[in-house]
Amino acid sequence: MFQNALHKAIDAINARRDYSHVKKNFKRVLQRSGMLSPFRESVNVRSSTLAPGFAIISGDQKGEKGTAMAKSNQGKVLVTGGTGFVGSHLVERLIERNRAVRCLVRQSSDLRYLNHPEMELCYGGLDDATDWDEAFTDVDTVYHVAGLTFARRRRDYFTVNHQGTETILAAAIKHRSRIKKFVLISSLAAVGPGRRDEPVDEDTTPAPITAYGRSKLAGEEAARAVADLLPITIVRPPAVYGPRDYALYELFKSIARGLSPEIGRQDKQVSLVHAGDLAEGIILAGESEASTSQAYFISSEEVYSLRSVVALLGKIFDRKVRSLVIPRPVAYTVAMGAEMLSAITRKMPVINRDKVKDLSQECWGCSIEKAKRELGYREQISIEEGLKETINWYRSEGWL
């Protein structure tokens, strides 16, 4: 059965003109799983641009639209990145649904957000030193949330977001007889920005503009390459906010002081998602049979004007907010200086050129129509409600 599936996947890859880079992912994942050597290792493909859809879709993996997987005989859920911002919210929602959750954590991980007595911990990382047999015991669903969002060196993104994803995929293939769904949490950055008033959707050809985005796309490609061997689903969130978030905290802190830094004079468009809504969307993707071999944006219904979000924050803080416009060349110069200092001190830079490039784009928006249609996803937490909750949490933790 495995040999037939492997040959079917290879034939599908051969049939595509645009999967030369996936060939390497496919072979590497199978080699790590220890299952490539008995079978064909040569794959002939031609190079072109990656299409946004999945190359390989098994007929028996397709489900009726919106149909949830059977609840009987539920196994355990393995979550990576459970100690982080998004992962900890996901773990909470899973436990609320009475799912048996096991989190893969490092010995050095901060477990402050994983204080659930019903939850199991499995110690390890996204590498071959981890006891993957222990991690996957009785597991039927995997939520791979762990990832690197900001790094000192560009290659570090690929070590975690690409090679780390390959490692857990290889482990999942070895335990594939029980796996009902492998959900990879990617990012809008893997697709890249849209144009003004033209948010991206799942049919948009990926064109990431940063090392982070390219590393997340490489992780997606690794998952797609084995989609005939594992029931894969990809979730791509935009910027995420909510309690426990560090990434947008500096924006909140700056606006609390009455200052809103902007790169360039043009207003930006952004999609945002509250961590709670994202967790619900991830679970919908993980429990739906229709989601197999699909990718989804999970986000807010509206694509916001960034200045409207700043104005709303100013209203909540009851502060008059003044814009501080930073010309793009100046921002790049500062970022370059920060990177040079980081190279000397070996500490994380406060900003880098990729971040400036990110913040300079006119539209980081995405459409959620596919998730609404196929998963029944709906935004539950309004932007005002979510921002107030986040501010209250920052204050309760002494951050503001």
DSSP string of 61-80?
G---TTPBPP-TT--EEEEE
Q: Which two tokens stand for residue 111?
A: 């477990």
**Cβ–Cβ < 8 Å for 79, 87:** yes
Distant-in-sequence, close-in-space partners of 322: CB < 8 Å, separation ≥ 6 = 258, 259, 260
Least confident range of 30-39, 72-81, 109-118, 252-261: 30-39
Q: Which two tokens stand for residue 395?
A: 């204050």
Superfamily of domain 65-240+274-302+365-381 in CATH is NAD(P)-binding Rossmann-like Domain (3.40.50.720)
The confidence score (pLDDT) of residue 341 equals 86
Among the listed residues 228, 191, 292, the one whose alpha carbon sits nearest the alpha carbon of residue 13: 228
Residues 127-161: pLDDT tens digits? 999 999 999 999 999 999 999 998 888 899 999 99
β-bridge partners, 198:
195
**Cβ–Cβ < 8 Å for 28, 164:** no
**DSSP codes joined into one string, 328-374:** HHHHHHHHHHHHHHHHHH-S--S--HHHHHHHT-SEE-B--HHHHHH
Residues 360-378: pLDDT tens digits? 999 999 999 999 999 999 9
Within a 10 A sphere around the Cβ of 78, how many other Cβ atoms? 29
Q: How confident is the model at residue 13 (pLDDT cuts 50, 70, 90)?
A: very low
Q: Which two tokens stand for residue 9?
A: 């996947």
- Please give the Cα distance from 245 to 389 (Å, whole number): 12
Residue 392 amino acid letter: N
pTM of model > 0.85: no
Among the listed residues 85, 81, 63, the one whose alpha carbon sits nearest the alpha carbon of residue 285: 63
Q: Which two tokens stand for residue 387?
A: 């921002």
Distant-in-sequence, close-in-space partners of 294: CB < 8 Å, separation ≥ 6 = 54, 202, 233, 234, 370, 374
Residue 72 CB-density burial (10 A; 0-12 exposed, 13-18 middle, 19+ buried): exposed
**Cβ–Cβ < 8 Å for 266, 339:** no
Mean per-residue pLDDT, 17-38:
52
What's the count of helices (H) and strands (E) in the chain, helices before strands?
A: 14, 14
DSSP state of 386: H
Q: Which two tokens stand for residue 323?
A: 């814009």
- Please give the Cα distance from 82 to 243 (Å, whole number): 15
The confidence score (pLDDT) of residue 345 equals 86
Q: Which two tokens stand for residue 146?
A: 């762990």
Residues 232-244: pLDDT tens digits? 999 999 999 999 9
Going from N- to C-terminal start, the domains of the chain cover: 65-240+274-302+365-381
Mean per-residue pLDDT, 69-83:
80
